Each structure stands twice: as C-alpha cells, then as structure tokens.
Chains A and B, each alone.
Chain A
Amino acid sequence: MKIIVCIKQVPDAKDVRLDPKTNTLAREGVQSIMNPYDQHAVEEAVRLKELLGGEVTVLSMGPPQAEEVLRQAISCGADHAVLVSDRAFAGADTWATSYTLAKAVNVIGAFDLLLCGKQAIDGDTAQVGPGLAMRLQIPYVTCVQKVRQATDSGLILERMMDDGYDVLAVDLPVLLTVVKDINEPRVPSLKGKMRAKKVEIRRLTAADIGADPACIGLPGSPTQVVKVFPPEARCQRAVFTGSLDEQIKQLVDSLHPYL
C-alpha cells in the first residue's frame, strides 16, 4: 500500500502567547513541533505499512525548518519525505494550501491512501484535508477513530461522531483525517533516528509542482485573518467551603436561579 501523510509544523501549544499589542501569535522563541494530530496520522500509516507492506511518504508545505518534522516522521517509521517550500507560498490560506498540496501529491505519484490529522492546532480550521481530497477528486472520511480492517483494496473505518461513531467501508484511493483516539504514536527508534539524520529530503518549489502563481500564497488566498484576539472570560469560579451539607446547600442555591 502506498501511503502519503500530510504533516505540518506548528508552534507548541504549551508555549503559545499572543502579542498583546498586535494580537498575533508571538512566534519568537516558541518551540515548533509536529502538529499532534499529524503524529497520529504518521503512526497509523506506519502501522498499515507494517500490516500490508508498501511505503509511507510524508509531505509538508512550509519554510525550510519544517524539515525537522519530516525527519521526526522518518524516525518514527516513514520511508520518504517531501518538503514543498517556496517564498511564493507565504500567506497561504486553506484554499491555497490544499491547491499546493494537491499539486505536490501529483508530482509524488500514485498512492492508495492519503492521511492527514483532523486539523492543525494553530489554525484549527480542519479544512485542508477535505480540501485536498476535493482537489484530487477522491472521497474522504474525516475524524477517523479506528481502522477496523485494512486490505489492499479497501478499508473498514470508524468515524467519530458527537454521539457515537459511524462504521464505513471505503474503496481506495481515499483520504482520511484522523483523531487522537486512533492510536498511541510510538517513540522514535534508534535506527529510525539514525536514518532520519541521513535521509535526503526531496525539495519541491512552486515551479517544480507546476503551480499557477495566482493560486498560491497570498494572491491565491481568498480568506484573510482580520483580527486575532483572546475571547473574554465568560465563566465564574466559586469555591464552596464548610461542611459537606453546607457545601451542597450553597451549590444548590447557586444553581437554582438557572433552573
């Protein structure tokens, strides 16, 4: 099975601060990590490879330092890595990003399965996976929580819903976006890390993927972020003290007006 996994380098959420003046993400000195959902996508791809044979290619669009997350994926069992990187991609929204990734996938070649994380933890849009499937004209399933059965011709999946899950049978090729419940990502292996250090990462520019300059980066992005701001706190916090009975009374009294 030929699998491509799309991954993104994001700022570590444990470390995110907003610049109080500009209300934009303060990226200075913030650690970068592989988007956590994407780590689960890489793990699932490696498990499917171990089960069925084949190879896993990881793909990322980003600045040169995004190589780090590609090498991390190699250390966890991916076989090949491709970085689509070009100044012309800067400022891309999800529309332009899915266009760019689709062009890159076409350059990589035939595949059976495309995996993405459910969403990236910086933008939180969850649009690039489905957008990419649309561009490639293949079906997609979002929020996959389990691959029940996998063969070279199709998959049986569980799709997480608000109130339970759907069971779906899909033919290949297909694009899946995965949630964290799907697996526990492995710790990189020593051999994997040594390979990751040496592996050659394929670089693709806008010209290499034959991108239309009007469809990429800022010019290709119909959406713009007008403002980023922390939401106002809407909850109140109260600590009840006294004996258990007194605390229960205080709790009931404070809830009563809302009933």
Chain B
Amino acid sequence: MDYFLSEEQKMIVEIARQITDERIIPQRAELDENDAFPRAILNEMAQADLFGIPIPEEFGGFGGGCLDIVLALEQLGRGCIGVGTAFAASSLGVYPILIAGSQEMREKYLSDVASGRKFAAFGLTEANAGSDASGIQTTAVLDGDEWVINGTKQWITNGGEAQIYTIVAITDRSRGARGASMLVVEEGDPGFSCGPKEKKMGIRSSSTTELIFKDCRIPKDRLIGRKGTGFITVMKTLDSSRPGIAALGLGLAQGALDEAATYAKQRVQFGKPIIAFQAVQHMLADMAIQLEAARALVYGAARHIDAHPNDMSKVSSMCKVFATDMAMKVATDAVQVMGGYGYMREYPVEKMMRDAKILQIYEGTNQIQRNVVGQELNKEYGRT
C-alpha cells in the first residue's frame, strides 16, 4: 500500500533497508547465537546518520518526527529486533533530555548521540518496580553540589554499552509520584557500575544489565528538568517511544511473512507447493491482513503524534498493543507454516518467534497499554 511518504522518508527507508539487507540479515544468526553486541552495525548506522533522526538539527540531527523513526525501526526490525532494540534504546535514553533537559544539557549530550559517537540508555525498571513504577527504591540525595545515588536498576537495555544513562530516582519519598526525578549518569562516574549481561530468550544481541549505584556521586546540574518531575518526563518519554516498538513489530512480522510465503512456494507436499493448499493460503492471508492493518494504525498514530496532540498516550498505547500482539501471532504462524523446518535454528523464523515475545512485554506490558487506553476512554466518556 502507498502511505504517501515524503522524499526524505523514502530516503530513510532506503538507507535502513540497505543496512538491514547487507549488514544485519547476514549476521543476525551469529549475533543471536553468541549474545554478541552489534557494535560494528551500530557504527554503520551512525555513519549513515540514523541516530540523528529524532535529534533536532541544531544538535547535528535530522530533526525528524515519530513517523521518521518508525520507518527506520520497521526496516531494522525486519532484520533483527535485537539490533533494532539496541538502536532504539539509545534514542529512548536521550528522549528525557530532549523533552525536559536544559539547553546546556541538550548541548552537552545530544550531538554525541546524534552522531553515534556515544550511546545512551534509559533506566526506570527495578526488581520491585516494573509495571508499577511507584515501587522505585533507588534514591538520589543532594549533598552540597552533588547528588548521591543509591540503588539498583534492572534489565536496562544498552547497559554496559552506553556512555550516557538517564535514570529515575526518588528525590523526596514523602511526595509520592511527585518525589521522583530524572538524572543523567555517565559511564565512569564514581560509584556507578553495570552488572553482567543477562541471558535472555530473544533479542540476544542487545545488551541487558543491572545498573548498580553505590554512593554514586554526580554533579548537581545532572538533574533533568525540575526536581520532582521525573514521572512526568518518564510518561512523555514512553509516549514518544512506544510507536517505535510497534514499528519493530511491523518489521519482524514482515520478515516472518516473507520467510513463510517464500517457503510455502518452494515446499512441495502431495505433489504441489504447499501455498496451493487453502489451509496454508488462509494462514498467509491472515498474516498479511493483520500486518497491513497494524501498519496502517502505526503510521497513522505516528502522524497523529507528529502533530503534537494532547491525546498522545492513547494512540501511542493502541499502536504498541496492536502491532506487537500481531507480531507474536504472525511469527508463531510463520513457524507453523514452515513446520519442522520453522522450528529449526537453521531457518530465521525460530529466532523471530523467540524475539517477538519481548515486544509484548517491554516499554510497558500490553496489559498496561490496555489500562492506558481504558483509562483514556473512561475520561473521554466521563466528560459527556
């Protein structure tokens, strides 16, 4: 379908497609097998200016919007959402600075991330604070001109690989949700370290670690925005980033459909290619229908968000749920179409099915997304 993309958007697609076809697809199985961080591929993306897409032009970026980043992530996701996640997490890591950081802070960090010289990471989740972010235990206490941070963040994407970390810490426990703040921690800050790489079911090329703060001291001016605005910044950050996760789902599903349809044309049983059997045809048709419906929703949501509306949360959550549930279903069906071959590591759909699961979990579980949509509906219908 023609989604009437601009010339620049078509260029983004071409570049991301070339990186996916020439760099990611040939290496993805090996990266997965070895839990290897895709440093060389990310450097290539940096050279191609992809890290600059969401960063304003004054900091050396492209000044792109939600749809621009969605288009890049969809292509990357077609190759490997592990690599796509590592890429996306760097943008996620600087969104808080983009959204709420001072001009000095933006100048200090954004151009390094736009050029890909530095990677970023976003630290919210803790052992007791997953879907319920109010369970955060990490604290930051002002001591003279320094913040002193204590606590442990869990499952942080790009942990150990990033140089810039934006984290959430409680700065005033008595104030509840208004007592959280966001701060920038840099690699090498005293008292800050990363745990070992976690062993995961999928997206194994992306790095996931703990962030450990033991009397970690950072300068006072590393506070992002005003004290106590941490949760607002987190919500705005996730509203902006969720369509990107939806886009990884679109790409993954496209890759799975491509594999399954190609296989179904070649695989002969009972004297015919299996694509000639209605049972298989209908599965492939449903995969294609669901994928296109999800794409229309994600692109539509991204365009809506690019108009900076005040009901961003709802559409952002809607497209994340729909596209990632679709990706899980399509990947599972791709394995089914390919039968025993699909279950083998020799074929890529096995990895796609393992990878797809995380899309329904991270950046807010799909249950939490439905809460967001439901609460918005409750508000909308309460107004009448």
* A residues at B contact (CB < 8 Å): 186-194, 197
Contact = CB atoms under 8 A, between A and B. Distances in A.
Contacts of A194: 8, 11
Contact of A190 (B22, B23, B44, B62): B62
Contacts of A192: 49
A122 B94 CA distance: 48
A156 to B, nearest CB: 26
18 contacts: A186-B48, A187-B15, A187-B19, A187-B22, A187-B23, A187-B47, A187-B48, A188-B18, A188-B48, A189-B49, A190-B8, A190-B11, A190-B50, A190-B53, A191-B62, A193-B11, A193-B14, A193-B15
Given A187-B22, A193-B11, 15 more contacts: A186-B44, A187-B15, A187-B19, A187-B23, A187-B47, A187-B48, A188-B14, A189-B48, A190-B49, A190-B50, A190-B52, A190-B53, A192-B49, A194-B8, A197-B11
Nearest to B46: A189
B7 interface: yes
Interface of B: 7-8, 11-12, 14-15, 18-19, 22-23, 44, 47-50, 52-53, 62
A191 B49 contact: yes
Contact of B44 (A187, A191, A197): A187
A187 B18 contact: yes
A77 to B, nearest CB: 10
A193 B8 CA distance: 9
Contacts of A197: 7, 11
A213 to B, nearest CB: 41
Contacts of A187: 15, 18-19, 22-23, 44, 47-48
A190 B57 CA distance: 13
B235 to A, nearest CB: 30
- Classify the secondary structure of B's interface with A: helix
B47 A190 contact: no
Residue in A187, A188, A189, A197 whose Cβ sees the most chain B Cβ within 10 Å? A187
A189 B47 contact: yes
A187 B62 CA distance: 17
Nearest to A185: B22
Contacts of A190: 8, 11-12, 15, 48-50, 52-53, 62
A164 B307 CA distance: 60
Contacts of B14: 188, 193
A191 B55 CA distance: 14
Closest 4 CB pairs of A and B: A190-B49, A193-B11, A189-B49, A189-B48
Nearest to B44: A187
A187 B49 CA distance: 10
A99 B15 CA distance: 36
Contacts of B18: 187-188
Contacts of A188: 14-15, 18, 48
Residue in B47, B50, B53 whose Cβ sees the most chain A Cβ within 10 Å? B47
A189 B11 CA distance: 9
B62 to A, nearest CB: 6
Contacts of A189: 15, 47-49
B19 to A, nearest CB: 5
A186 B49 CA distance: 12
Nearest to A77: B47
Contacts of A186: 44, 47-48
Contacts of A193: 11, 14-15
Contacts of B15: 187-190, 193
Nearest to A197: B7
A243 B294 CA distance: 52
Contacts of B53: 190
A85 B8 CA distance: 29
Contacts of B19: 187
A141 B44 CA distance: 30
Contacts of B52: 190
A193 B53 CA distance: 14
Contacts of B49: 189-192
A192 B50 CA distance: 12
A187 B53 CA distance: 16
A158 to B, nearest CB: 23
A132 to B, nearest CB: 30
Residue in A190, A191, A197 whose Cβ sees the most chain B Cβ within 10 Å? A190
Nearest to B61: A190
A71 B18 CA distance: 16
Nearest to A188: B15
B133 to A, nearest CB: 35
A194 B48 CA distance: 12
Contacts of B48: 186-190
A257 to B, nearest CB: 38
A190 B18 CA distance: 12
A190 B50 CA distance: 7
Nearest to B10: A193
A190 B47 CA distance: 9
A216 B286 CA distance: 59
Nearest to B49: A190
Contacts of B22: 187
A188 B44 CA distance: 10
Nearest to B68: A190
